[in-house]
Chains A and B, each alone.
Chain A
Amino acid sequence: MAAELKFAKTHEWVRPDEGGLATVGISAYAVEALTDLVFMQLPAVGRRVKAGESIGEIESVKAVSDFYAPVSGEVVAVNESLPSQLETLGKDPYGAGWIVRIRPDDPAEMSGLLDRAAYDALVKSEQH
């Protein structure tokens, strides 16, 4: 897990990229907890999103979960191959398993997210 990642309490990760974009995915813990993913719906490119807003849905064998925008901004890219290759989310959640790229309205908003240590502590607390 790369140190520069930030995390939302709802288990999305964000990586600030060159060009001021924020790449977003869901954590390995969340993928493992969902188990057996079968379907995913991505947001439309160009959609304006607010931090905390549902931007897509993912279905495991019988559970539907939303995933949320960790920052406000515009969706500028989506990983279009992901819905047909959901196993990528489990194999490489922080790399090839990225979900969307957002151009943040305010890059400083990311500073309010959890760092790796705080996220690890959150996961630990959820496991007990």
Chain B
Amino acid sequence: MTTAIPLPVWWDDAADGGTNMAADEALAAEAERRGGLVVRLYAWTPAAVSLGAFQKIADARSIPAIADVPLVRRPSGGGAIVHGSDLTYAAAVPKAHPWGRVPQAFYDALHEAMVAALADRGIAARLHVAAGRPAADDGAFFCFDRRAAGDIVATPPNAAPAPQDPKIMGSAQRRPPGVVLQHGSLLLRASEAVGPVARHAGVLDLRPEIALDVRGLAGAWLERVARSCGCRVVWQTASFRREREAEVAQNAVRFRAEQWTARR
């Protein structure tokens, strides 16, 4: 008899950007303590824009379409994401884990599982295949205007894959010593909290005829993720950020500080 390794999954209630980033930092520490993969799923209130670690605050503040929503800077890389109508996840593994050694392995593992879970629900999607090396930062401010190898793009029904097919999920990492923290976002709907240039169609916009149960999709996705690494999903009944309230509150001070948000 073999015993699968537990994959703890927390589904947290919605929180502001600083709290969410603080909880994810605590999640990375949790992965190191446990020595295995951990996942947190969550939402945002109010809607917010998260900036990649290296994005310039001046660029964000020059876009009127996002002027009315709060900004938070992620510790992870990549482009800006409008949150509030997406499913956000944070996943963390120790660097000694097979998915922790090189960046692409973790992206591909989680994204391939999502492509399969979407396909089970009649939504065709695929991993983007990059042609050649990307230009420095790819030019685009928003994550969903960029394309990198392994991003998930939707394939329209009854159509052949095309380069302009919309990106619906992207992820980015922070790789501190000993652990990898990966953030990702599956777009559900275009956000109404921002202006048109900051809106990107989500799965529910692209396939309105499909009654998508987001919680069911997330569960099926993580079951696939667990199977591919010899784990079994263990849903946690408590909220991660409430379980780690003191640690999250301490981390949140930094993520809410202007010094962090405007560091570039």
A interface residues (Cβ-Cβ under 8 A, vs B)? 10, 33-36, 38-39, 41, 57, 59-66, 68, 126-127
Query: When the two chains form their complex, are residues A62 and B148 in contact, meaning their CB atoms are under 8 A apart?
Result: yes
- Count of A-B contacts with CB under 8 A? 66
The residue on A at minimum CB distance from B100 is A126
Tally of B interface residues using CB under 8 Å: 28
With a cutoff of 8 Å between Cβ atoms, the chain B residues found around residue A64 in the complex are 53-54, 75-77, 172-175
Closest residue on chain B to residue A40 by CB atoms: B54
With A34-B103, A61-B148, A127-B101 already in contact, the answer to whether A39 and B176 are too (CB < 8 A) is no
A38-B136, A59-B53, A61-B134 as given contacts; A66 in contact with B103, CB under 8 Å: no
8 cross-chain pairs, A with B, having the tightest CB-CB distances, nearest first = A63-B173, A63-B103, A62-B172, A65-B175, A64-B77, A64-B53, A62-B78, A33-B102
Name the distance in Å between A34's Cβ and chain B's nearest Cβ: 7
In-complex Cβ contact of A63 among B134, B136, B149, B174 (8 A) = B174
Consensus secondary structure, chain B interface: loop
A57 to B104, CA, bound (A): 19
Asked if B133 is at the interface (CB within 8 A of a chain A CB), the reply is yes
Write out, one digit per residue, whether chain B residues 176-198 have a CB within 8 A of any chain A CB (1) or not (0): 11000000000000000000000
7 contacts between A and B (CB under 8 A): A57-B54, A59-B53, A60-B77, A61-B149, A62-B172, A64-B54, A64-B173
Q: Which residues of B contact A (CB under 8 A)?
A: 53-54, 75-78, 95-96, 101-104, 107, 133-134, 136-138, 148-149, 170-177
CB contact under 8 A between A62 and B103, given known A10-B177, A57-B53, A68-B177: yes
Interface pair A36/B172, CB less than 8 Å apart: no
Contacts of A66 in B (CB 8 A): 175-177
Interface contact A62-B171, CB-CB below 8 Å: yes
Instruction: Give Cα A108–Cα B134 distance, bound, in whole angstroms.
Output: 42
Query: How far apart are B174's CB and chain A's nearest CB, in angstroms?
Result: 5
Establish whether residues A39 and B54, one from each chain, have CB atoms under 8 Å apart when the complex forms.
yes
- CB-nearest residue of chain B relative to A127? B101
The reply to whether B137 and A39 contact each other, CB–CB distance below 8 Å, is yes
In the complex, how many angstroms separate the beta carbon of A120 from the nearest chain B beta carbon? 16
Question: A60-B103, A62-B148 in contact; A36/B174 too (CB < 8 A)?
Answer: no
Cβ contacts under 8 Å, A35 to chain B: 102-104
Q: Chain A contacts of B134 at CB under 8 A?
A: 36, 38, 61
